[in-house]
Amino acid sequence: MDLFEFQGKQHLARFGVPVSTGGVAAGVDAAVATADSAGYPVVVKAQVQVGGRGKAGGIRACVDADQVRSAADAILGMVISGHTVRRVLVEGAVDIAAEWYASFTVDRSARRHLGLLSAEGGVDIEQVAADRPAAIERLHLGPAAGLAAEAAAGWAARAGLPPAAVPALLSLYRSFAEGDADLVEVNPLVLTGDGRVLALDAKVTLDDNAAYRHPEWAAFAGLEVLDDRERLAHEKGLQYVGLDGTVGVIANGAGLAMSTLDVVNQAGGSPANFLDIGGGASAAVMASALDVLASDERVRSIFVNIFGGITRGDEVARGIVAALARAGGGAPVVVRIDGTNAEEGRALLAAHQSERLVSRATMQAAAEEAVRLARA
């Protein structure tokens, strides 16, 4: 779940990360009232889940109520990279003495948490990484051990940050680890002229799998921006991420789904999505997954990759057959089934094999066939 900036700051503040004074507003009058409460000067910031707000005119400094009214009127309703601005964040302006970059995410290849820290904040961190990789200090952490104060102090010193930044870094890590986030990023984390450390921006992605532990996330989900594919998948209870390719991907388990994306790329194709149907998916779940991919006009073929542990191969096959019968036309489906009841599942598929339904014995062969059909 990707959060808006104002939601991200609410999440960070719960764990002690210092943030600016202000609030969110959905109208011009509310923006002015929020600015009056925060105290002038203020900054009015468009709330969209996309970068480039400043260049698009979506961030404006204001010294009085008239300027806030004018800024809010101009920003609300603005379209930035296809996203319509429906809310603005109004915050008290601060005197910035230094700008830093700080983030935590998961390094899946290393199976550890990864912290990134740089004294060059407030700019495109990808450009910094490309031009001056030594300017970014990396820190791998074992999830069980976490981030100790001594380690945080050493990390900050190596990156060129003062000791004053350490408490904020410790709180930021707590917001990541204890807050069940996939990503927390602050750019910039600033030192103010009077010596305070504040998060002036916040990019936060929460792990949907942990939602059962966080009833407070319901308020965040109510404002989540989803495309039509993601909305349909969420309604059906599926783990789905939309991509830009032409080969639809369905797998049972996040690890297998990621491997399936890789093998599609290796076969020369481009995945259209990440879709995990879970470890015990039934025929109904499989049918729902195919329905989601059928709604995506960019999908030219569908690769179903199942390894049965809890999931039974025959159940998966029944779901595929039922979904295809219900849908009629659509993209061809290539299936690879292995594991529990795989032989029964393959037999069911063989009885219904056609130009639209193909079964392959290996993951590589199935990926190559799906890529071929997507290009046909």
Q: Annotated active-site positions, please? A: 101, 185
* Secondary-structure percent of the chain, ordered helix, strand, coil, rounded to 5: 40, 25, 35
Beta strand pairing call for 181-192 and 96-107: antiparallel
Locate all alpha helices (DSSP H) within 49-112, ordered by sequence. Answer: 65-75
Contact 87, 25 (CB under 8 A): yes
Q: Quote the CA–CA distance of 185 and 293 in Å, as a whole number.
A: 31
Q: Quote the CA–CA distance of 43 and 66 in Å, as a whole number.
A: 13
Residues 6+ away with beta carbon under 8 Å from 248:
271, 272, 273, 275, 293, 296, 299, 301, 302, 303, 331
Residue with the two structure tokens 């969209």: 48
Element (H, E) at 10: helix 5-14
Q: Quote the CA–CA distance of 367 and 298 in Å, as a whole number.
A: 17
Q: Quote the CA–CA distance of 245 and 269 in Å, as a whole number.
A: 8
In sign, the C-alpha dihedral spanning 17, 80, 87, 230 is negative
Residues 6+ away with beta carbon under 8 Å from 239:
208, 209, 233, 254, 274, 275, 276, 277, 278
Q: Which two tokens stand for residue 62?
A: 């204001």
Q: Give me the amino acid identity at 18.
A: P
